[in-house]
Amino acid sequence: MNSVVEYPGVQLSWKRILAIAQDQPDPIVAKSVLSSDIDEEYQQEQTTFNRMQCINRVSLQDQGYIAFMVTMVIELKHQCPISMAFLKHVIDFSEIPTQQTLKHVTMALLNKLSTKQTKTNATIIWSMLAQKFAGSLAESIWTDALGDLLVQCLHDDNNIYSLLAIESFALTGSLKRLLQDQLDIARALQQVLERVEQSLCLLQPSPLLPSFESIKSATTATDSPNLTLVSIKHHIRIYQELKSAFKSCTLKLSKKRKSLRKLQNRGYKTLHNDTPDQDTNKPHQENCMSFLDLRKLHFSLKWSLTHVFSKTDQDISLPHQQTYLQPVDYNSHCKFSVDQLEVRNDTFFFESVRATTGIPTNVGGKWYYEVILFTNGIMQIGWGTKQCLLSSQDGSGIGDDVHGFAFDTHRCAVWAAGELHSSSSTFGECKAGDVLGCLLDLDSNYCTFFINGQNHGLTIDVTKTTMALYPTISLTGHQHVMANFGRQAWYHSVDGANAVNDTASRYPTVEMKPSLTQNEDDGPFCNICYSEPINAKLLPCEHDGMGENCAQTLESCPFCRSIIEKVVYL
């Protein structure tokens, strides 16, 4: 391929879609002073639909597909969750490209890598493509130059997306063997890990964050099945819901709910009133961000070495503390630390996790836990019963139904039953390094969310039921948090509040979620039939997650499409 055919309309359509989705002015259409809000909203919806149709039509052509990917190398804003969601949407809804087209995509992207930003965007695109097209199509994407680039970006730039791309290519059995044998990827990752550990020890983290020494021994303990296909239904929901959700957050509440108490009538006050000067605090903020970036990379490297490129089976054991996080179903793709207090979601599903300890609403008292944010994206953090509809396929998280409520870190608002209940006019979206405090006051029947110890009026009334309320967290793609249920000192304490950890010892009748490794029916069920226990591993790709009967019917691995040479029964 000599050159890439340019489609100027793709770049403009992309900018217009993102502007409208984030409720920003259309970059080429001036707002009419005579138009009503209803007319404007209708026009925005039509424009978004038309621009998406334009991009989809272009991507149907081989040259158009390549041109779109090249445009994304320049235009993608990976810090913007809307941008990432729409990119995934286009990839999922485009027709499956040919092997030749994917080869040309790699060649075109390699020719556009002039800056650190374009390298990051390219690794994101390769990660998405390799994950979606695991198998022979992923083999078409791969080149030796691409492999060298991914390792170089990881080593030189601490590019976490390079690591995710390597993991995505490893979903294809032949490429995983190539990574292990030719690139000695485990050794390369170990070298990067050691360098990252040295850098972390030299950095002085924010006082809001734990020191590296306190988490240095953390590894990951919960394996997850490989993700190769993304639900179309899920991305339709992303396409429809993200735009409307963002727009709804810009509207002022027309009236306060009668059940919403005024904060000044409550006995809680702001814990920190002094706001540091931004200019004098800038070096500290930069140091904090460097620490967070290295912490995320350290976590991901250890997880990859343990679960993707490990040569031995890992012994999965339960954390020794009473309260920790667990996925809400056995098919979760979340990555956990060994104590299961730190969790990361590197898929494009809306994944949820729930604490193992719940608070009975009839016991009274004040209960508190904290969550440290390592990323800036969309997260919902709150409380819910076990009847909450937490579906990664449908994009439902905590606060989206009547059985729970949550604080949205990106929109700085409290949600319940999918509706906005309160928002802050004094605080924008949360950032990496912020600490969110969740106070459940069952004496006065309300919940307040604190941001870095500050009370911004983010409160909702709580109705007592016969069911316990569990700390619950929902994460969009590439989000990373760490929970503190009282095992360590609070970053921002609240007078009179008990730790969630204390509940298990005070109220032994609290219902606990069964562990993934202690299921009465011999553990998680087969990902194919959901009726027999997981007890088979495929060779040579070493993928598992299925039962004996289903494994016997397979000729190729359902995860990476590799030909099965042998089945090992566990």
Indicate the class that CATH gives domain 519-570. alpha beta
For 3, other C-beta atoms within 10 Å of its C-beta total: 8
The answer to whether residues 501 and 322 touch, using CB atoms and an 8 Å cutoff, is yes
**C-alpha span between 402 and 355 (Å, rounded):** 19
The pLDDT tens digits of the residues spanning 423-472 come to 876 777 899 999 999 999 999 999 999 999 999 999 999 988 888 999 99
Give the per-residue pLDDT at 193: 95
CB-based contacts of 127, cutoff 8 Å, min separation 6: 161, 164, 165, 167, 168
What is the model's pLDDT at position 545? 84
Residue carrying the six token digits 């019963």: 385
d(CA 237, CA 219): 34
CA distance 118 to 127: 14
Q: Which residue has the tokens 């409208």?
A: 20
Count Cβ neighbours within 10 Å for each residue of 332-356 and write b for 16 or more, e otherwise: bbbbbbbbbbbbbbbbbbbbbbbbb
**Cα-only R_g, the chain:** 24
In the chain, CATH 2.60.120.920 covers 232-506
| The length of the chain, given as a count of residues | 570
Q: What tokens does 523 get?
A: 């553990």
Per-residue exposure over 242-258, b if at least 16 CB sit within 10 Å of its own CB, e if not: bbebbbebeeeeeeeee
Specify the CATH class of 232-506 in words: mainly beta
84 CB neighbour count, 10 Å cutoff: 21
State residue 36's pLDDT score: 52
pLDDT of residue 73: 94
pTM above 0.95, yes or no: no
| Predicted local confidence at residue 23, as pLDDT | 66
Residues of the chain falling short of pLDDT 70: 1-6, 21-23, 26-42, 44-45, 204-287, 311-320, 425, 504-524
Considering the chain, tell me which residue range(s) the CATH 3.30.40.10 domain(s) occupy: 519-570
Residue 515 is predicted with a pLDDT of 40
Helices then strands, counting H and E runs in the chain, come out as 16, 18
pLDDT at 18: 76
pLDDT of res. 231: 38
| Per-residue confidence (pLDDT) for residue 15, from 0 to 100 | 81
